Amino acid sequence: MLRLFYHRKKKVINIFFILVLSSIWIGWDIQQANQKFDYTYKASFLNSEMNFKPNASTSVAMVRSDNSSLANPSSITSDLSQETIDQMVRRAVNLAGGFSSKIKSGMTVLIKPNLVACDQLNGNGTNTDVRVVEAVVKLVDEVDHGKIKILVGDGSAEAYTTYEKSTAVAAGRNKSWTYMYGNSDPTKDAGYHKLPARMTALGIDMRLTNLNGNSDTDPRSELKEVTLPSGGVAQPQKGKYMIHQDVLNADVYITVPVMKIHDTGITVALKNQIGLAPSTFYGFYKATGVVADNKVNRLIHTDQAPLMWTDKEIVDLSTIAKIKFVVVDALMCLDVSKTTLSDKSNQVRMNMIIAGEDPVATDNVCARLMGLNPDDVEHITLAERMGLGTNDISKINIVGEDLSAVKKKFRKKTTVPHQVWGQGNREWLISSSFDATNIANPIDYEFISGESNFIPQAGISGWSKSTYFINDRIDLKTYFNSSLTQMASYAFSYFTSSKDQDAELWIGSDEPMKIYINGNLAYSFTGTRTYANNTTFLSEIKKISIKKGINTLLVKSIQKSGTYDFALNICEVESNLNYRGNRVEGLKFTTDVSISAVKNEKQDTPADFDLLHSYPNPFNGSIQIPFVVRSGEQVSLEIYNVIGEKIKTLYYGKTGTNSMRTAYWDGKDNSNHTVTSGTYLVVLKGNEGRFKANKILFLK
């Protein structure tokens, strides 16, 4: 995921940014800002090229250790017994739909925990607690006792076999699991090496598998190449991954992560799939490769910064995994870091199990449980676009616990600025480019007349269709691929807000830009500044006010000598550096205003007759007019001017079924002549004198 960090010249930088800069800043001279990055890949896609599709509603279950429905409820502050954990897992899985519909007798089930470090004591939050995995194993076996083949394994970044150890030493990853996923030191025992004997004693068919390869001489023979039909979203991988045969041969795949903060935002269901990339092929730091093939094969992660690929690799691997169920270990969690700090100050005890069939929805709930916005986590939003699940809270039914009562604020890793930033808006309509070569002051020149109030239509008059940029950095230089050295362009989006509120506009750019919100100038920058660090990208924060419902957002940017890009997010007002940078809760960027408007309005819509807010309003191209009618009613929808003259009939007739409908008006009268700019009335008439009217404003 693309992250760039910038500081503004001529302004005192606060302590937070000083700390960030001290750890990641790479010196950059403004004269170098025009250098060309190696763009081998597409910087953007039309939304229609994504696999995004509506997802069905789903349930995500949360069960805390003090839940009164448990036979042995326990304090949320204490360590738990295996018995209590078994009960929590059972209740959470059953509330989320249960295993019986997924697992049948004779099937092979692969359970993948999150195994990060071999020298971490079980239950401290670094690795998935083995007791949670045991509870899942026993519950799977109950589908048909002794008749389900159960595998537990991960592709750890630390070595186990002799082959792995000899390879890992060169990568500086020469710690090893003394036993299979275990340690001979009882103070540093991850505990997995003891699991098979306990399960065998219970008559359960279970074994451990090393997804890096179990052979001590030729582990690569166990790996198979998988090609994603779509080519994947991590473009450097070209849709091809080596995956252990046990993953591919499993009938049912269950991911069992531990919940914690990570450089990608969070580690839960989706992030856990990085462990599917075998270290014997990609390296024991999976972005280094191995000596055996001259380090050619590796995950790219951030090596091509400012292009960022980690989250996209996560989505590719999650697509391959075909996750059927998620059980999250949220007993002992971690903030700030993916491993337990020596003073244990980052441990957050939640004593909770989360379960769900949909990995995207489960990650959504976990993010909110941690006090984060799931829309700030790229692998969550991108996985939804690729059809792996839903990130729409209106389709996620949380059962078992009240989220608002049990959530906690997890501290972010402030030394990873792109985590602090979250995720900017990536979905835009882009105008055609304008030649600014002979314009003395292009930032103040209106390349589009009335630019502040301009509302474009997708695919019309030089505007693009809805376009998704692969990183937060909206890379206009690559998008236009223009020979112009000085140019201007506009980017447009809507965003929705659940209420009138103050917010923070987080902005990145190296050259002049203006930002209009609801037709008002919210931000203007006319100079030049450094904006080219590889991993983060904040230039400035501006306090703004946003209104309830649909808001319009127009960005005007100028290219003279810089990288010609910008970044933008709208965040909550927060002074605490540990929690700062969350996108405003419930705020959604979109280029399809009809979707947002329907969601925004439907909760307050009467069942049979109403005229909803038209959008965009004001408008200068076409306006959408949603209305609700009941079955069989004779209705008319008409446009009138302010002196009461009927201008246009948009709808007249009997309706078929109760429904919300949408009419469109292009600003023309019944004679097909464009009307003058001004205020007009939309009037909905029904039976028994029912009547609704709204004002709209047309601007040529």
pLDDT higher than 60, residue 450: yes
pLDDT higher than 90, residue 217: no
pLDDT higher than 50, residue 418: yes
Rounded average pLDDT over 494-506: 93
Rounded average pLDDT over 361-368: 98
pLDDT band of 81, cuts 50, 70, 90? very high
- Residue position matching structure tokens 């191209």: 621
- CATH top class, domain 605-698: mainly beta
**What was the pLDDT predicted at 31?**
32
Closest CA to 324 of 567, 573, 564, 143: 143
Angle between helix 359-369 and helix 378-385 axes, rounded to 10 deg: 150
**What was the pLDDT predicted at 505?**
96
pLDDT in tens, 43-53: 999 988 876 66
Cis peptide before 219 (omega within 30 of 0): no
**For the domain with range 79-413, which CATH number is right: 3.40.50.11440, 3.40.50.1820, 3.60.15.10, 3.30.750.24?**
3.40.50.11440
Q: How far apart are CA 424 and CA 491, in angstroms?
A: 14
Rounded average pLDDT over 444-463: 90
pLDDT higher than 50, residue 247: yes
- Mean pLDDT, the chain, whole residue set: 85
Q: How far apart are CA 350 and CA 329, in angstroms?
A: 9
Rounded average pLDDT over 509-533: 88
**What was the pLDDT predicted at 593?**
56
| Domain edges within the chain | 15-35+425-587, 79-413, 605-698
Rounded average pLDDT over 240-247: 98
Rg of the chain's alpha carbons, rounded to an integer?
A: 28
CB-CB contact of 597 with 615 (8 Å): yes
**Pick from 190-194, 324-328, 413-417, 491-495: least confident:** 413-417
Rounded average pLDDT over 388-395: 92
**What was the pLDDT predicted at 535?**
53
Checking DSSP bridges between strand 540-546 and strand 434-435, what pairing results, if any?
A: unpaired
Rounded average pLDDT over 338-346: 93
Task: List the structure tokens of 134.
Answer: 């045991």
**What was the pLDDT predicted at 162?**
64
pLDDT in tens, 632-664: 778 889 999 877 788 999 988 876 655 667 888
Q: Looking at the structure, give the CATH architecture of the domain made up of residues 15-35+425-587.
A: Sandwich (2.60)
**What was the pLDDT predicted at 579?**
94
pLDDT in tens, 593-624: 544 333 333 333 345 678 877 878 888 888 88
Higher pLDDT, 105 or 159: 105
pLDDT in tens, 54-70: 667 899 999 999 999 99
Ranges of beta strands (E only) in 510-559 are 513-517, 520-525, 540-546, 549-559
Closest CA to 147 of 177, 179, 117, 107: 107
**What was the pLDDT predicted at 54?**
60
Higher pLDDT, 538 or 537: 538
pLDDT in tens, 104-156: 999 999 999 999 887 788 889 999 999 999 999 999 999 999 999 999 999 98
**What was the pLDDT predicted at 177?**
54
Rounded average pLDDT over 575-601: 74
- Residue position matching structure tokens 């448990």: 70
Report the percentage of the chain scoring pLDDT > 70: 86
pLDDT higher than 90, residue 172: no
CA atoms within 13 A on the CB side of 534: 16
CB-CB contact of 308 with 534 (8 Å): no
pLDDT higher than 50, residue 2: no
